[in-house]
Amino acid sequence: MKKIGIMGGTFNPIHNGHLAIAQAAKDQFALEKVLFMPSGVPYMKNLQEVLPASVRCEMTALAIRGIPYFEVSDMEAVTEGNTYTYQTLETLKSLHPDTNYYFILGADSLYAIETWKNPKQIFKSCTIVAAVREQTPEKLQAQIRYLREKYQASVEMLEFSGIDISSTRIRDMLQQGASVHDLVPKEVAAYIAENHLFRE
């Protein structure tokens, strides 16, 4: 069976933290590649702050250019209406039955994942890889045990020292006219500047 990672997110914008987590997951779980999958209509976000999917896909492509085992998937971006993780995974599994998928997310999402649409199907379709910053708190270990027991979920921890970057912080800095060259790949910084993105 092939082993492929999925990094979902709005990527509004993509930053060095996303790339570092994907690289760590590839190394730790011996993944053949990681699919970066910008969301289409992110139903849990304030849409006024989110750039069009085509722009976020373009930034993501620039960020991973030259890394052969990273790939952009516009599967969710081109879907009209809300997109749901369980449907994406079901589609991928039906297209590629010879592949085991590793869905990479921030550890905080483990507390909210039961509120996602059809969580039972998500756990059935993939291994969840939770990026944990440094030591794993007892509360998180308890949540992982709970999900494993309730859903027979495959939940693994990604040992990741962490890069403290968020897309929200980057957008705030850009609105204030600050440089974000240390936080995003240089191609992404250039694209943001050329297209005057995230300015008031």
Summarize pLDDT for 143-184 with one digit per residue, the tens. Answer: 999 999 999 999 999 987 767 789 999 999 999 999 999 999
Residue 127 confidence (pLDDT) above 60: yes
Q: 106-133 burial by CB neighbour count: b if 16+ within 10 A, else e? A: ebeebeebeeeeebebbbbbbbbbbbbe
Quickly state the pLDDT bin for 94 (edges 50, 70, 90): very high
Q: Over pLDDT 70: what percentage of the chain?
A: 94
The full set of domain ranges for the chain reads: 2-164
Residue 76 confidence (pLDDT) above 70: yes
- At residue 44, the pLDDT reads 56
Q: What is the mean pLDDT of residues 109-115?
A: 95
Residue 45 confidence (pLDDT) above 60: no
Q: What is the mean pLDDT of residues 105-134?
A: 93
Decide: 184 and 63 in contact? Cβ < 8 Å.
yes
| Alpha-carbon span 73 to 2, nearest angstrom | 17
CA distances 93 to 56, 77, 79, 86, 115, Å, are 25, 18, 17, 11, 22
Q: Which residues pair with 6 in a beta bridge?
A: 35, 103
- At residue 175, the pLDDT reads 93
**Can you tell me which residue has the tokens 């960020």?**
63
pLDDT tens string 6-43? 999 999 999 999 999 999 999 999 999 999 999 986 55
What CATH number is given for 2-164 in this structure? 3.40.50.620
Starting at the earlier edge strand, list the strands of the sheet with 2-9. Answer: 70-72, 33-38, 2-9, 99-106, 127-133, 154-160
Chain mean pLDDT for the chain:
92
Q: 153-176 burial by CB neighbour count: b if 16+ within 10 A, else e? A: bebebbebeeeebebeebbeebee
- At residue 168, the pLDDT reads 92
- At residue 66, the pLDDT reads 94
